Every structure is written in structure tokens, then in C-alpha cells.
Structure 1
Amino acid sequence: MTDSCLFCGIVAGDVPSVKIAEDATTYAFMDIRPASEGHLLVIPKRHSRDLTEIEPADLSEVTLAAQRIARTVLSELGADGVNLLNCCGADAWQTVFHFHLHVIPRYVDKTRDRLTLPWQPGVEGDADTIAAVGARLAGALA
């Protein structure tokens, strides 16, 4: 834990939160700036800055907790879908630098859901660029 981390303060009980679930390695609580009704966060109790730094075991536990909670969101809140979102880095919209997954219920009823996409799914990209970037990444991972 770090003294300056908001989410570490929540885990320690020094910062109030609306807790919805907790186990030995994860903590889930309601987002205070929700994109939709029921929007919540799942975090590892152990501090890690972001996706690139989280321990694999912690990432696995957070993801499994998010899956369990997503199922509950769908059944209990009557959500029509759910997004899991992680933002890694300030330019990717990360504002609290403690790894977290957003569990965002999605609703056909837009009075319960204000999240909109920042891009247009279904719009194809340039095939040559996709192939070139894909080859570059595949080579780096080999």
C-alpha cells in the first residue's frame, strides 16, 4: 500500500466507499462518478500502478471477481449487457494510479446509462496498416 494512493486508502478503511464485495486479495466498490447505474470498480488489495505492473496472480483474481460481479449485475440489476474497462496510463483515461477494472452495466434505457463510445465500432481500418502493426507486434512477442 502507498500513503498517497486513494484506492489503498479505501482498502485500508481510511477513505469511505460503498463496498459490494471483498475477499483475501480483491475489493469491489461503487464508482462515485458512474457511467451507468451500478458502475463499480474491482481492485487488488495489493498496490500496483497499472496493467503493466500488476502481479499475474492479482490480475487473475481481480478478473475472476469482476466476472462474478458482472454476472450479478446482469441478473440483479437487469442490465442488458456489461463492459469491463481498464485504463492504463493518463492518455488512456487512467486517473487513479492503482490498477482497477471498471464493471459498467449497460442498459437499453439510456436514463440508466450515459456511457457512449468514443469511436465507431464496425468502421473498418486500413488493411495494410492493420497487417503491418500486427506483424510488428507478433515479431516483438515471438
Structure 2
Amino acid sequence: MTGQAYDSNNIFGKILRGEIPCHRIYEDADTLAFMDVMPQSPGHLLVIPKAPSRNILDADPAVLAKLIPVVQKLARAAKEAFEADGITVIQFNEPASGQTVYHLHFHVIPRYEGLALKPHSGQMEDNGVLAANAEKIIGVLGN
């Protein structure tokens, strides 16, 4: 345990409750995946559990067991949809690691040989671009 309590008012909690919109890619009973609004590469998406967890340090192993196959499925779909050379999967835990949203989440980022990631700057991507990128991944998933 981290010692910190989970706060359901984080932005991902609000997305799960439908209080904040997102570009959904995938959803099942336990997980939700959507486009990162500040992508570091085209196709950058996030996968979160619906169960409350601050991060991997306090997550129920049963939640992780359901979440990781979805991360893998979406990593494969994003790689194909964006014809990427590779995929980076990142997961941060606590402020010292760079975590800024305290709901467990995995970044899935298409990568290309010789291209650095853009900074996670606070500059939000155009909604039309995010919607088009979501559709590319949804198309590969067959949804």
C-alpha cells in the first residue's frame, strides 16, 4: 500500500462517471481505454481499470490480471493501426516517478525508429485528430 487514499475526484474517475468526455477506444466490464488528450505520438492511448486504484502499488492483483491482457490487445492494435515500428507501455507510480493522475493507468504509445516522443506538455491535441486516431484503432479491433 502507498499510504495514500484513492481520491475518486481525479480526472479518470470523472471520465469513468461520464462527467468529462473522452475518445473511447475500448470498454468492457473491468476496463476503459481512450485517447490521451496530450499525445506524445499519434495513437497514444490510456488503459485504466474501472476499479479504484491509486496506482500499481495499491491495485488488487485480480484487477491487474484483467487489465494487462487489455493493455496487450490495445498495444497490438495501436501498433497495427499506426504502422508503428514499436510500442512503448509506461506506467507511473507516485510523484517521484512522474505520476500526475492518481488513478492506475497505462500509457500505450506507438513508436517510430529515429523519432523522439513529443513532451507531455499540457498542449491538448485537436479533437478531430483524436477522434480520427481513435477510429483507426477501433477499426483494427473490429468494433
Q: TM-score, structure 2 length as denominator? A: 0.74
Quick one: distance in 2 between partners of 1:3 and 1:28?
18
Contact 2:84 2:110 in 1 (8 A): yes
1:68-108 superposed Cα distances (whole Å, 9 cap, x missing partner): 01111111210110011100010100000000011011012
1:26-85 superposed Cα distances (whole Å, 9 cap, x missing partner): 000000111111001000011110111111111122211010011111112101100111
Match of 1:58 among 55, 63, 69: 63
| 1:104 alignment partner, SS class | strand
Greater RCO, CA 8 A, separation 6+: 2
Contact 1:62 1:101 in 2 (8 A): no
**Counterparts of 1:116-135 in structure 2 under 5 Å?**
none
Quick one: distance in 1 between partners of 2:34 and 2:89?
14
Quick one: distance in 1 between partners of 2:12 and 2:45?
13
Please provide the CA RMSD for this pair: 1.7
> Identity over aligned residues, as a percent?
39
**Aligned residue in 1 for 2:18:** 13
**Aligned residue in 2 for 1:102:** 107
Structure 1 stretches lacking a partner, 5+ long:
117-142
The Cα of 1:2 is off from its aligned counterpart by 4.8
Letter in 1 for 2:94: G
Aligned residues: 114
| 1:74 alignment partner, SS class | helix
1:114 corresponds to 2:117: yes
Contact 2:35 2:45 in 1 (8 A): yes
Q: TM-score, structure 1 length as denominator? A: 0.75
1:23 corresponds to 2:28: yes
